[in-house]
Chains A and B, each alone.
Chain A
Amino acid sequence: MKLQSASTRRLVFRLNDAERDWLVEVLSRYPVVPESHATLTRQGDASLREHEQLLRDSLTEQRHTLRARIKVWLAAPGRWLSAGRGHRLIVPREDGEWLLQVFNDVRVGSWLRLGAPEELTRDPGSLPVGQQMDFALMELSGVFQMVLLQALDEESGP
């Protein structure tokens, strides 16, 4: 996935077939972080329990909103254009922030499913088969996140 052009309104990426399939796979996995993961305080302050519930309710609502938005977004007319052997993906700049949140949910959630290791393995082949998909999703969502982040920082072209 490479940035092809950036304007004030939109970003255009070029993807090959495999990248497109993985992008759709990553987005369709959302949400991955468990709802119980959100905490307001480190030590569990009992006096703020009600506030913590509000935080969780707010994040749950966000998950529902984003999950519905992803489906509509992926299927929107003009989202994908064929480009020779590959594809062009059109991303309005205003969608950049929620897409970053989605990619990072899949990244952090996959990391949690791996047991939240302090050191990220460089040898995914050594992982149990059941965790290799989590590792792949963590890495790929990180790649998409970084490409999008760099593109959002890109100066607008003509």
Chain B
Amino acid sequence: MPTVMPDLDEQTRNRDTLEPGYRVVCWNDPVNFMVYVTHVFQRVFGWSRQKAEHHMRQVHEQGRSVLTRESLERAEFYVHQLQQYHLHATLERDE
């Protein structure tokens, strides 16, 4: 048994490695403007315009883009944020 409690960071790391991962996916639709999608990615994820445009193009050209891989809690947070802007975003298990 450990003689000292692990620090919070270590607990968090351990939890993250045990939790199943989730992908946050954004899907293409014909109604959202490309420049709007880019703007939302920048706002929600704090990405550069270049990175946001890269994912926007993936959505547009390939029908979907995996935006990030996270714990369930974080993935839910991002889906909530994206849906507040009415982007078609969902999460899926990262298997």
Task: Check A38 against B83 for contact (C-beta < 8 Å).
Answer: yes
Known: A59-B84, A118-B30, A119-B30. A100 touches B90 (CB 8 A): no
- Residue contact B90 to A42, C-beta cutoff 8 Å: yes
In the assembled complex, 22 residue pairs joining A and B whose CB atoms fall closer than 8 Å, in A order, are A33-B86, A41-B92, A42-B27, A42-B90, A42-B92, A45-B93, A51-B72, A55-B79, A100-B36, A100-B85, A101-B85, A107-B86, A108-B31, A108-B32, A108-B86, A111-B30, A117-B30, A120-B30, A142-B33, A145-B36, A149-B39, A152-B39
**Complex Cα distance A100/B43, Å?**
12
When C-beta atoms are compared, the residue in chain A nearest to B90 turns out to be A42
Which residues of B have CB within 8 Å of A107?
A: 31, 86
Q: Tell me the complex Cα distance, A146–B33, Å.
A: 9
Does B53 interact with chain A (Cβ within 8 Å)?
Answer: no
**Please, how many angstroms separate the alpha-carbon atoms of A4 and B75 in the complex?**
40
Residues of B at under 8 Å CB distance from A?
A: 25, 27, 30-33, 35-36, 39, 43, 72, 76, 79-80, 83-86, 90-93
In the bound complex, residues from chain B placing their C-beta under 8 Å from that of A39 are: 90
Give the interface of A toward B (CB within 8 A). 33, 38-43, 45, 51, 54-55, 58-59, 62, 97, 100-101, 104-105, 107-108, 111, 116-120, 138, 142, 145-146, 149, 152
CB pair A146–B35 under 8 Å, yes or no, is yes
Chain B interface, >50% SS class: mixed
Residues from chain A with a CB closer than 8 A to the CB of B79 are: 40, 55
> Is B84 a contact partner of A101 (Cβ separation < 8 A)?
yes
Cα of A55 to Cα of B92 in the assembled complex, Å: 15
Is there contact, CB below 8 Å, between B76 and A145?
no
A149 and B90 within 8 A (CB) = no
A102 closest partner in B (C-beta): B86
Contacts of B80 in A (CB 8 A): 55, 58-59
Minimum CB–CB distance for B22 against chain A, Å: 9
**CA separation between A59 and B35, bound complex, in Å?**
23
Ranked nearest first, the 10 interchain pairs of A and B with the lowest CB-CB distance are: A111-B31, A108-B86, A104-B86, A42-B90, A41-B90, A101-B85, A38-B83, A108-B31, A58-B80, A118-B30
Report the minimum CB–CB distance from A7 to chain B (whole Å): 20
Provide the bound-state CA to CA distance between A45 and B72, in Å: 13
